[in-house]
């Protein structure tokens, strides 16, 4: 494998090309989008409802339902980022945190790892959205979210993965 050659950089992301020898011996050029990592938080309100965001996503030019999430700063620990994003996006703090694993959203072309958390025992706090975030905070029951996933109303993969893991681990009903 050769050292990567940067093709393009934007914010904390870089598109890189490199020559790589595959496990079968074939040498190929591979393009990778490097990503600093991200977090997703599945907040459980004290009434048992799940806190979601209805967020406008410019890349797909539409609004989607998802759990709060965000990109990690350089050197930032995932749980630190999760606490910051929970405060910024839905103005909540949590005293109980559960890691529900990691997810690789697009390993065919991106090295991003997403760290997934369930946050409980929440309370109101101050937080500010990033200037490019357009978010409405919404609350749904576990059954409502399950129905929204089954009916394809929720399509965000990180949201679906976190919801399924939280259910399998018994962290939500």
Catalogue the active-site residues: 131
Burial of residue 33 (CB within 10 Å: 0-12, 13-18, 19+) is: middle
| Of the candidates 28, 35, 95, the residue with the CA atom closest to the CA atom of residue 69 | 35
Q: What is the CA radius of gyration of the chain?
A: 18
The helix (H) or strand (E) run that includes residue 165 is helix 157-168
**In terms of C-beta distances under 8 Å and separation of at least 24 residues, what long-range contacts does 4-13 make, across chains too?**
4/32, 4/34, 7/31, 12/36, 12/71, 12/73, 12/74
- Nearest 5°: phi and psi at 150? -65, -35
Tell me if 35 sits within 8 A of 14, measured CB to CB: no
Q: How many residues does the chain have?
A: 173
């Amino acid at each position: 494998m050769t050292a990567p050659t940067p093709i393009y950089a934007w914010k904390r992301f870089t598109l890189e090309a490199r020559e790589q020898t595959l496990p079968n011996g074939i040498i190929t050029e591979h393009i990778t989008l490097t990503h600093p990592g991200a977090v997703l938080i599945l907040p459980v309100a004290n009434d048992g409802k799940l806190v979601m965001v209805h967020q406008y996503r410019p890349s797909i030019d539409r609004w989607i339902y998802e759990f709060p999430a965000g990109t990690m700063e350089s050197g930032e620990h995932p749980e630190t980022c999760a606490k910051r994003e929970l405060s910024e996006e839905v103005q909540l703090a949590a005293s109980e945190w559960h890691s529900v694993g990691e997810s690789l959203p697009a390993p065919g072309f991106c090295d991003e790892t997403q760290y997934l958390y369930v946050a409980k025992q929440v309370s109101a706090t101050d937080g500010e959205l990033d200037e490019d975030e357009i978010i409405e905070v919404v609350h749904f029951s576990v059954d409502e979210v399950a129905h929204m996933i089954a009916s394809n109303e929720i399509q965000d993969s990180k949201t679906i993965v976190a919801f399924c893991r939280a259910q399998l681990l018994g962290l939500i009903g």
